[in-house]
Structure 1
Amino acid sequence: MSKQLLPDFPPSPLDSYRNLASFDWRKLKLFIEPAEIVEYKNEIVELLKGNPAFHPKKLETLDDVRRDASIKMHEGFYLQEFKYLGMLDNVRKMHAFNEIIVLWDTSFSVKNSINNAMYPIVIRALGTKKHIGMIVKVLQGEHFGCFCLTEIGHGSDTKRMRTRATYDKESKGFIMHTPDFEAAKCWAGLLGQTATHAIVYAQLYTPDGTCHGLHQFVVQIRDIETLQPLPGITVGDMGPKIGLNGIDNGFLLFNNVHVSKDALLNKNVDVTEEGVYVISLKDPSKRFGASLAAISEGRLNITNLCSAYLIQGITIAVRYAAVRKQFGPNDDEEISIFEYQTHQHRLLPYLAGAFTFKFFSSHICLEQYTNYVNTMNGEQRKDAVDYGFEMHGISSACKPVISWFLMEALNEFRQACAGHGYLKAAGIGELRNDADANCTYEGENHVLNQQTSNWLLKFWPQILEGKIIKGPMESIDYLSRGKEILADKFAVDSVEHIVRPEYILRMYKWLVVYLLKSSYEKYERSLKESNDAFWAKNNNQVYYARSLSVAYINHYMLHVFLKRINEAEDPKVRNVLERLFALYGLFTLERSLGHLYKGGFFVGEKPATLIQDAVLKLCEDLKNDAVSLIDCIAPDDFLINSFMGKSDGKVYEHLQNELMGGEGNMSKPNWWKEVLHSKL
């Protein structure tokens, strides 16, 4: 069965490394994804191959790019049917579908995520039965939805957003108004040219002039037959960007537009016909917590997208490194650049990161998809508030850490592939441009980090009081032993010991608790000195709270990875995964040496030396496995989009085809007369 599903690769320049692998790549592949998911992905790829609308095209203008993305959205609805078929029974297929379309076309993937995930999820989570029809319309392709939170003058500072929705007793509806251009909604994907409806975040005012804060409204903005803006609505496109130009990001202004009372998503709050504001959840923190899981969806989708990008990039870089030869120990022998220690260190920690993120994103997205499906079925978690806060903390930390790591990796891959990597056909440059947006949208990374650290800081007093700390996602449970963990000291004397997964997690636990204590105490000192909570919190980020958020999520990702490793039955599969775990854990832990020494966990030069020696040894040990590890996670060649990264390893043959077949590559320019010294 496995050979039929996963046939042998044809003879290839990559065979010299494939033959050295310490494990059976098919067993690892089927451990990462069960056979039914591998088969399902293959079916999706075949569907893409079979429809000309989904094939790569040369797109000259911004309008061409937008048109192509929009046609894919239209044609993609038969893929959506494929996606949603049986989704209630197998949320893994939803995740598998999203992994494929991210690699096939990122712009379509993001548009799909906005239209078919974020938009309906927020409506279902915060709306009531009367809003269900809106979800059906968008999933059937009759409506296109977008998500309008950010304004021209304010992005992360949601409290100061100024779009208004004032309840009008006479018309029994709301008057939506944008006071000036700085209050215009902006950057919303699909808003620029295609969205017919929008979830708009606006300050809700009752007739007595009271502002009740930011609320969500579902508003029709364009005619569904003509796509013309409705009266009183100004909507436009943000224009060309440095990447992701298939997404029509737009801006939106209202000029005293009347909308129905039903536009308010009223699960937790409502306004009576007489204009009285009513709250169903009296506790503001519970009301806030219940809504957090829904708005975490976008950040988790970005996490999945970044994981797929990293897999794409590391596939290109590793396969090229295995084929490319430079220099050697003598004049008769030229060796692969992958044999050099510097090249191993440049690539293999990012390969380890790719596996860590893949297991983590699968875990966290499946958790969220399951919650989504249950919510769509009307089921409410008993721990919805705690789940919302913890999922918000996780998503606000993982999105920054993974997107930063990705950008760092793609820059390294581009340089590691040297001159050939600078070609557009190498695929890394456009990947890097598209990936850059992940650091900004769905929350600027530093602001998100601060949201996670603010949540974590609340636990330090509980640690001091000896309270039990427990979360639905198990990301904070070890904090209950915070005082015991903080008393720990470095206690190993060999590379063999320091690479053990349990000890790496032990070091990370100490780091998180130390940073939690240090950040809390720094905040308290600043608060005492300034008596200003705002500045005390903001002056607590560099070296403290920001590092806390990063350490917390790295520990949790490794915790999730190790749980999955422990499910492996094949000892060789387990062994190679443990080495990947150790490499990512120690590579990222090395960046916190200052904290580990400052807090007294490390003393003397030995701990740092052991970490560095272990990283280099792990790189050396994983070098022969790298190509086969890539084979386990690499996308189909149809999705690679690089002459360097295909599974046949024929880098130079593909490059020759690119150079010889490139438009204009073999002809003189049409302006040749203008550059001659003598005019003909």
Structure 2
Amino acid sequence: MEVLEDLPHGPLDRYRNRASFDWKKMRLFLESEDLVRYKKSLVDVLQSDPLYDPNNSDRLSFDEHRRRSMLRMKAIGDRKEFAIENFIANFTNLAGYFEVLFSWDPSVGVTSGLKMSLFSNVIKTLGTEQHMHLADASDNNELLGCFTLTEIGHGSNTKMMQTKATYDKDSQGFVIHSPNFEAAKCWSGLLGQNATHTVLYAQLYTPDGVCHGLHQFIIQIRDTTTHLPLPGVIIADMGPKGGMNGIDNGVMMFNNYRVPKSALLNRNVDVSQDGVYMPKLKDPKKMFGSSLHALSVGRINITCICSTFLSKCISIAVRYAAVRKQFGPEGSNEEIPILEYQLHQYRLIPYIANAYVTKVFSYFIVADNVEATVEKYMNMEKPDVAERGIEIHAISSACKPFAAWLTQNAIQECREACGGHGYLKASGLTDMRGDNDANITYEGENNVLIQQTSNWLLKFWPQALRNEPITAPYNSINFLSNAVQLLKEKCGFNTTEEFIQPENVIKMYQWLISHLLKVSYERHQRNMSQGQSSFDAKNNNQVFFAKDLSMAYIQHFFLLTFNKFIQNCEDKNMKLVLTRLGSLFGLFHLEKQVGHLYQGGYFQGDKPRVLLQEAILSLCGVLKDDAVTLVDAIAPDDFLMNSVLGKSDGQVYQHLQRSILTGEGSLTRVKWWDEVVCKKKAKL
């Protein structure tokens, strides 16, 4: 039997018959046959039990919504198809796991990810043998863990977090305490009602009163028999949110709560029985890189989540645009699909390109992260582990904000592009918008987070000025070795075809990043020379400078990763389409930075901007006939799509009719009709 079934015939055939490539070949190129089979096995599980029915959530109370989400998480945790061993056997499987779960039920996807990535994996990578039974118990659903870092008063500024873990020599353990409500741990998923254990981040104090900074502890917070908080632990649920309401986010405080010495996750550091702080890694850089890699895990996973939402929303909007007809040529009685309009193509097709590039990047970065985690767990880390940790921190600090903002814009554009029908809950777009909104803030608020990337990049400009070689394990900045020479160049492209060439798109990006790095560095130095503190110098260098630098840097790295991937494509037609998508991705984002291209002197006169815009429209036009087949290759299964506008058969109006006429109460008289209808009959 073929791993991919044929798509149903219907209204979408109009465009599918025009496609220049086979969607099945494209899907298998993007995902591999093993990954397609794995994702299908997950969907088969979800379709096998009424508990997994994606509908009827509107009929549930807030409490029942929570209950169902937890039952779902527990049920999939008992299935071998969702077991962690699948990710060890094939690193890319984790991306497929996220794609299926977040297409189906984002709340369950988050809670499962929290339990696995931010609880179990942290124990495995930062703990020692004495802690592994807890990770195993979590993997086997014998305990439920959460991850508590953020506090009411501090999120991104971890140095100022106030939760204290003070070592007590007499009891040979730690005393955990929250000095005030600002120190309360908050927003932790699964904490509000369910978790029995947590990986806690607290400031470690030794008996001499010295603070050694934020450290990780694994502690029990609820009684496993009564499920009540343990004495000294106060836990509250945070209540309804704008989305993801299947997750019980909580607040937690400690009142001199005592835990054993073994609570400290002590792979890299320990405290002696006498209370002496003992780092285990002799190389501080290696320890720093290791800690940065741990912080990157959640941001990498969010990038994959955003990729899932991006593929789903654009699939809905494009399929709807291919079916929905509106107006037509003058003198004609025949309407045409709205996908035929250039404005609609410009609204949607660049997001197809973004979906493809982001999907390839997320597969790459998630697989790399799983591999690094396994290597750390097995004590088989590469020699450049410190450099990799530092670079991946810079990458994750930019890719998460970029992917989250991009996806939020895409969902909103797709919602609007589907008109009033897109505003229906049954379209799937409004819930997705609310669920994705969280991605912008958790694991680091975007505007704060991307400063980590620009701060890292600014360190390389002095090296570039000295023409010193600049290298990094992921090759994301190697081109900066030639930055000074790059800045001497001007745009010499005279046709739209030249603008579309992948090597020319890359060249424009590398000039732009070099320019933004130069001006950001010079502005920072000027701020310092004017007497500004280091803090103020950085703070006053974000708008129009460092923030744009970080975004250009990560967009360039997305594109590098995508272009490298498509070189392995042997099908000429597919490779041509993929090449066009890569160029459209790059030009779409470069057009938003065109002011910098002019300010730095790379663009001169009106011609470059006109050609850039014409290149974007040209690519949208040439990709229009492939649009439906392009989304076929990345769209989730109809069961996961769960949208009346985006099903693969294209029968939009049939699905709309069924949804409207079978909705609860849609054809019945409301019970309270006589409360609002005037009893006195009006005279005609």
TM-score when normalising by structure 2: 0.97
Residues 22-47 of structure 1: per-residue CA shift (max 9 Å, x gap) = 11222211111212221221121111
1:203 aligns with 2:228: no
Q: Please name the residue that 1:390 is paired with.
A: 391
Q: Is the 8 A contact 1:314 1:413 kept in 2?
A: yes
3-state SS of paired residue (2:92): helix
SS at 2:217 equivalent: strand
- CA 1:576–1:301 in structure 2 vs 1: closer, same or farther (change >3 Å)? same
The equivalent residue for 2:432 is 431
Find out whether 1:678 has 2:679 as its counterpart.
yes
Q: Does 1:62 align with 2:62?
A: yes
1:193 is matched with which residue? 193
Partners of 2:89 and 2:53 in 1: CA distance? 31
Residue of structure 1 equivalent to 2:657? 656
Aligned to 2:452: 451
In the TM superposition, residue 121 of structure 1 has moved relative to its aligned partner by: 2.1
**Matched residue SS, 1:625:** helix
Q: Which residue of 2 aligns with 1:589?
A: 590
Map 1:471-550; keep pairs closer than 5 Å.
471-550=472-551
Measure the CA separation in 2 of the matches of 1:88 and 1:165: 34
Q: Is 1:363–2:364 an aligned residue pair? A: yes
Instruction: Report the secondary structure of 1:561's partner residue.
Output: helix
SS at match of 2:213: strand
Q: How does 1:29-178 map to 2 (within 5 A)?
A: 29-59=27-57, 60-79=60-79, 82-178=82-178
Q: Does 1:20 align with 2:4?
A: no
Please report how far the alpha carbon of residue 80 of structure 1 lies from its aligned counterpart in structure 2 after TM superposition. Answer: 5.1
Q: Which amino acid aligns with 2:137?
A: K
**What's the CA shift for 1:332?**
1.4
Structure 1 letter corresponding to 2:506: L
Does residue 413 in structure 1 map to residue 411 in structure 2? no
Structure 1 stretches of 4+ moved >6 Å:
none
Contact residue 397 and residue 448 of structure 1 kept, 8 A? yes
Does the CA contact (< 8 Å) of 2:151 and 2:184 recur in 1? yes
TM-superposed CA distance for 1:5, in Å, is 2.4
2:349 is aligned to 348
What secondary structure sits across from 2:10 in the alignment? coil
Asked whether the equivalents of residues 121 and 294 of structure 1 are also in contact (C-alpha less than 8 Å), the reply is no
3-state SS in 2 of match to 1:147: strand
SS in 1 for 2:346: helix
Q: Secondary structure at the match of 1:212?
A: strand
Tell me if structure 1 keeps the 8 A contact 2:296–2:392.
yes
Give the whole-Å Cα distance in 1 for the aligned partners of 2:232 and 2:81: 36
Quote the Cα distance in structure 1 between the aligned partners of 2:584 and 2:81.
40
Q: Say if 1:81 and 1:132 are closer, same or farther in 2 by CA, change over 3 A.
A: farther
Alpha-carbon offset, residue 317 of structure 1: 0.2
Task: Name the CA distance, whole Å, in 2 between partners of 1:256 and 1:283.
Answer: 34
Partner of residue 626, structure 1: 627
Give the conservation status (yes or no) of the 8 Å contact 2:76–2:82: no
**Structure 1 Cα separation of the partners of residues 156 and 318 of structure 2:** 38
Paired amino acid for 2:586: G
Report what 2:220 is aligned to: 220
Aligned partner letter, 1:136: D
For residues 86 and 310 of structure 1, what CA distance do their matches in structure 2 show? 25
**Within 1, Cα distance between the matches of 2:181 and 2:259?**
21
State the secondary structure of the residue aligned to 2:78.
Answer: helix
Q: Is the 8 A contact 1:122 1:295 kept in 2?
A: no
Which residue of structure 2 lines up, in the alignment, with residue 561 of structure 1? 562
Counterpart of 2:147 in 1: which secondary structure? strand
**Structure 1 residue 119 displacement after superposition:** 1.3
Distance 1:427 1:400 in 2: 23
| Offset of residue 196 of structure 1 | 1.1
The answer (yes or no) to whether the contact 2:269–2:281 under 8 Å persists in 1 is yes
Given residue 471 of structure 2, which amino acid in structure 1 is its aligned partner?
K
1:631-642 matches, within 5 Å, as 631-642=632-643
Partner of 2:251: helix, strand, or coil? strand
Q: Is the 8 A contact 1:159 1:213 kept in 2?
A: yes
Show CA shifts across 1:580-639 (max 9, x none).
Answer: 111111010001111111111111111100110000011111110000001100000000
**Residue 306 of structure 1: aligned partner:** 306
Q: Does the 8 Å contact 1:125/1:291 carry over to 2?
A: no
Equivalent residues of 1:172, 1:260 under 8 A apart: yes
SS at match of 1:633: coil
Structure 1 position 167, deviation (Å): 0.6
SS of the residue 2:162 aligns to: coil
Residues 673 and 679, structure 1, Cα contact 8 Å, conserved in 2:
no
The SS at the match of 2:212 is strand
Task: Name 1:604's counterpart in structure 2.
Answer: 605
Measured in 1, the distance between the counterparts of 2:5 and 2:642 equals 22
What is the identity, as a one-letter code, of the residue corresponding to 2:188?
A: A
Provide, for residues 552-578 of structure 1, a one-character-per-residue CA deviation record: whole Å limited to 9, x for no partner: 000000000000111100110000001
- Select between 342-351 and 35-44 the one with higher mean Cα deviation: 35-44
Which moved further from structure 2: 559-568 or 123-132? 123-132
Residues 114, 189 of structure 1: 8 Å contact kept: yes
Cα distance, 1:21–1:394 mapped onto 2, change above 3 Å? same
Take 2:491 and 2:466, find their aligned partners in 1: how far apart are those partners?
A: 26
Deviates more, 1:639-648 or 1:134-143: 134-143
- Secondary structure at the aligned position of 2:633 is classed as helix
Q: Does 1:8 align with 2:38?
A: no
Residue type of the partner of 1:634? Answer: A
Secondary structure (helix, strand or coil) at the match of 1:530 reads coil
Distance in structure 2 (CA, Å) of the matches to 1:570 and 1:83: 35
- Cα distance in 1 for partners of 2:592, 2:448 equals 21
Could you tell me whether the CA contact under 8 Å between 1:191 and 1:251 is conserved in 2? Answer: yes
**Take 1:610 and 1:676, find their aligned partners in 2: how far apart are those partners?**
62
Equivalent residue letter for 1:571: K
Equivalent-residue separation in structure 2 for 1:526 and 1:462 (angstroms): 20
Q: Distance in 2 between matches of 1:227 and 1:484?
A: 64
Native 8 Å contact 1:83 1:97 kept in 2: no
Structure-2 separation of matches of 1:190 and 1:64: 15
Q: Equivalents in 2 of 1:483, 1:368: separation in Å?
A: 33
Q: In structure 2, the residue corresponding to 1:187 is in which secondary structure?
A: strand
> Once the two structures are superposed, what CA deviation does each residue of 1:505-546 show, in whole Å capped at 9, x if it has no partner?
111011111111111110000011124100000000001100
Cα offset for 1:378?
Answer: 3.0
Q: Deviations over 1:60-102 (max 9, x none)?
A: 2111111011001110113355443454332222322222111
Contact 1:196 1:220 in 2 (8 A): yes
Hey, what's the Cα distance between the residues in 1 that align with 2:565 and 2:87?
23
Q: How big is the shift at 1:283?
A: 5.0
Structure 1 residue 442 and structure 2 residue 443: aligned?
yes
Q: What amino acid does structure 1 have at the position aligned with 2:434? A: N
1:179 — aligned with what? 179
CA distance in 2, matches of 1:286, 1:407: 36
What TM-score, normalized to structure 1?
0.98
Give the Å deviation of 1:129: 2.1
Whether the 8 Å contact between 2:234 and 2:252 is mirrored in structure 1 is yes
The C-alpha deviation readout for 1:114-148, integer Å capped at 9, x for no partner, is 10112122222222222222211111111111111
Cα offset, 1:108, TM superposition: 0.7
- What is the Cα-based RMSD across aligned positions, in Å? 1.3
Larger mean Cα displacement after TM superposition, 94-103 or 387-396: 94-103
Counterpart for residue 553 of structure 2: 552
* Paired letter, 2:194: T
5+ residue gaps, structure 1, are none
